[in-house]
Amino acid sequence: MSEKNNNVVWHNPHVTRRDRERLNGHRSVCVWFTGLPSSGKSTIGHALERRLYELGCRTFVFDGDNVRHGLCSDLGFSRQDRAENIRRIGEMIKLFLEAGVIAITAFVSPFKEDREKVKRLVGGENFIEVYCRCPVEVCEKRDKKGHYQKARRGEIKEFTGISSPYEEPENPDIILDTKELSVEESVNRIMDILFKREILKIVHE
């Protein structure tokens, strides 16, 4: 690991997060989806973005697979690599919050420690944890990519829910039982908390 460069100094911007939030007409926040593979994280996350987009909100979805095609393409699925994957995402989320954007993430993020690190990094007031709770057998039936079958045959190592553990959130902000709830119902529940916390209320001085 390279040594930290002590000559790098933080530069305070002339345009602040508060300025950008006023321009956007809403506060920035991280909506962090977690859950087993195929539990509905990406589907609901993108549906939420569409709903927010239709309201004129500035949004961006960080999808787990997409991120691993670029930013984290050098990482595997070992415990260490998973932690680094989430660390990088956390740093990106922090920048997007400063940009005044509603950042939506869809990551298995199976370990409590990694999720808590992101929450501490961005601040608890900026972090809404959404747990997509779904039985593994239901997730397996929904899996169009065939990853569960490959994992059971031993073709995919360290696969969450089969050969690697998933640690359920202890106190998530929202629990979505995606076996029972429709995508629309799930989005409605998230929208409720965004309005309740005044994320979507126009920001005034």
- CATH number for the domain spanning 23: value is 3.40.50.300
Tokens of 100: 């005044």
Residue with tokens 């595997």: 76
Q: Based on the residue annotation, tell me whether 109 is a catalytic residue of this protein.
A: yes
Is 148 inside a domain boundary?
no
Is 152 inside a domain boundary?
no
Would you state the pLDDT for residue 46?
97
Is 139 inside a domain boundary?
no
Would you state the pLDDT for residue 115?
95
Mean pLDDT calculated for residue range 136-156:
92
- Residue-wise pLDDT for 133-144, tens only, equals 999 999 999 998
Q: What percent of the chain has pLDDT over 70?
A: 89
Is 143 inside a domain boundary?
no
Is 66 inside a domain boundary?
yes
Question: What integer best gives the mean pLDDT of the chain?
Answer: 89
Is 81 inside a domain boundary?
yes
Choosing from 109, 163, 182, 186, which is the catalytic residue?
Answer: 109
Residue with tokens 């670029």: 70
CA triplet 24, 28, 33: central angle to 5 degrees? 130
Is 201 inside a domain boundary?
no
Domain with 23 in it: 17-134+165-196
Residue with tokens 């993108």: 46
| pLDDT at residue 204 is higher than 80 | no
Is 9 inside a domain boundary?
no
Q: Considering its fold, how many domains does the chain have in total?
A: 1
pLDDT band at 185 (very low <50, low <70, confident <90, very high): very high
Mean pLDDT calculated for residue range 162-179:
95
Mean pLDDT calculated for residue range 40-44:
96
- Determine the distance from the C-alpha atom of residue 130 to the mean position of all C-alpha atoms in its chain, rounded to a whole number: 8
